[in-house]
Chain A
Amino acid sequence: MKESAEAELERIDALFELMSGLVQRSSAITDDREANEHFLPSSRLSAAQRVDIYREQFWLRHEDSLTEDFPGTRALLGPKWDDIVRGYLQQFPPTTPSLRELGFQLPDYFENQGSLEPSVLDMARLERAYLEVFDAPDEPPLDPARVAALLPEQWPLVELGTSGALRLLELGSQAADLRRALRAGALGEIAERVEPVYLVVYRRELGLWDKEISRTAYELLGRLASGQALGAACEATAEQRPEAARELDTQLGAWFADWARLGWITRVVVP
């Protein structure tokens, strides 16, 4: 009896699942019996060898992509990189059309690898931030007229929207400097630091930038980015530490001027 189109498509979709599993195998496909059931040989290659072309390309393509996108992480891991990338791709197989997003879970994967140096996780988080910021959607700059029109009593209530091309990172190492030194071949010039690094990764005039800021500025920016009103964000930040309150008192105006100039703040929302 002739199979209905719907039933045939169901069978074909199951075949796609099967082929997807074969293509993502870490070792070569050699079992012709399994392949012969669904695929045909050519005059020169067996069915298994033909499926294996796709499998080999899957690994080459994705390993190459991660290697290009995480040069600092790769440099820190050295010869361990290849095995770690294979493990990562098995745990986090690609799910989105863009290869640029392929490594977005790499820091999550590293967090579960207890044996890795914390600096490796820092570097992976930094390099992910660069990738995220690189082609985040464009936004118009903050309109100065909109800021000038705010009444004094409105300021505590406004929400200051941060740019989509901005990421905030608290790191345990100077990953950005380390990455630059690695690429310049000047690793010995980076001094070890024990205190945390508060870093803003952002895009400005098409370029990628990173800028270290104070802990207080970092905490305030984080609150604004999460949608807190300015007044509440300042109060919550000031309550953290006495020095934070003093810093806010003396620096807040300069920070806003700088953050607007750098394109970190792009919107003023008056409730």
Chain B
Amino acid sequence: MSKAQAPAPSRATRPAHLEVPDLGVGAGLRVPHYGHILEHQPELGFFEAISENFFGGGKPRYHLDRVAERYPIVLHGVSLGIGGPAEPDKEQLKRLRDLARRVRAPWVSDHLCWTGPGGAHLHDLLPLPLTRSVAERIARRAAMIQDYLELPFALENTSSYLTFAQSRMPEWEFATEVCERADCGLLLDVNNIYVSAFNHDLDALEFLRGLPHHRVVQIHVAGHTHFGTHIIDTHVGPTPAPVVDLYREAIRLCGPVSTLLEWDEDIPEFDVVKAETQRLSAVRAQGLTGDAPAVGADVVDRSPVTARHAGSAGRHGGAAGSLAAWSTEPTQDSSAGEAG
């Protein structure tokens, strides 16, 4: 699709409670970077922290507090499972609210997904049957969560590899239905649009253009891994060219929205992440000024690999990193003081 054929940006008015600050371009807060961030205080718009990783104390909480003293922090959850059978866990919501207040988060987000039935938790962002009843269920819960948090609450479109026979609407209609009914925000993940579009034989541009742009409070950008028959959302490496193109178009449609780079596999030195955020800042400027190259619907990464991947929902999607990742090897205390 050429630039001339592209629809104009949405003219719908952004709801007042979703008027959030534009924080520019930021990066996901990841364990290997804490030392560098605190020592060098690199210039960056903001950091996004995975909420569940900071519900406890110790090293995770200490480092988050130090980073929050210097940078805006937004919170991104991975375990609400808002579309699943169970109602949101009240204790988890309380912890989330306490954490959001502690770091003064301007908004909080989670995913349009389910994470397990009954008492199970599969630590994955599982796809939903796209029906009106599921949208209504999620909207009711999202509205309740937003009221409880007393903060803008946004839901992210996820990557998926599977379609339910029961689905009755395209994903962009489903996301719109949820956000409009709940009067909540949308976290627009352009890599997830690209991944899902490939996996479900959809048009990524149609997907992007069908979303409620006036409700987008944040954008995610990331890399993925192409297997030839399907793409997995691995958050690996620099952002691939077609995702960058989609991002530029997303900015053109949504306006100046805070953008986050997710890099969760083969995490490089922070300087490499920083350089990638600077590249995205330039793309963002192109989208905002209209100085944007035409977006081609046929731009597809054709470099499949055969390695096996656990996907991005692993350490990103549920845990806080192993003790080894935190460089926390237990130390023997042989100090005197005990008998025997």
Interface residues of A (CB under 8 A from B): 5-6, 8-9, 11-13, 15-17, 19-20, 23-24, 37-40, 42-45, 47, 49-51, 53-54, 56-58, 60-62, 64-65, 68-69, 71, 93-100, 102, 130-131, 133-139, 165, 176-177, 179-180, 183, 201, 203, 206-217, 247, 250-251, 254-255, 257-258, 262
Contact = CB atoms under 8 A, between A and B. Distances in A.
A194 to B, nearest CB: 16
28 contacts: A8-B131, A9-B133, A16-B117, A40-B165, A42-B230, A53-B162, A54-B126, A54-B161, A54-B162, A57-B232, A68-B325, A94-B122, A95-B121, A97-B79, A97-B123, A98-B79, A99-B315, A100-B319, A100-B322, A131-B323, A134-B328, A135-B58, A135-B320, A139-B57, A216-B340, A250-B339, A255-B337, A258-B335
Interface of B: 52, 56-62, 78-79, 84-85, 92, 114-124, 126, 129, 131-134, 136-137, 161-166, 199-201, 228-230, 232, 308-311, 313-315, 318-320, 322-326, 328-335, 337-340
Contacts of A57: 124, 232, 309-311, 313
Given A12-B129, A57-B310, A61-B314, A254 B331 contact: no
A20 B230 contact: no
Given A99-B319, A135-B58, A135-B60, A251 B331 contact: no
A201 B333 CA distance: 10
Contacts of A134: 56, 58-59, 323, 326, 328
A11 B134 CA distance: 11
Contacts of B333: 209-211, 262
A56 to B, nearest CB: 7
B120 A207 contact: no
A12 B134 contact: yes
Given A39-B163, A61-B311, A8 B133 contact: yes
A45 B58 contact: no
A94 B121 contact: yes
B326 to A, nearest CB: 8
B323 A206 contact: no
Contacts of B57: 135-139, 165
A71 B92 CA distance: 30
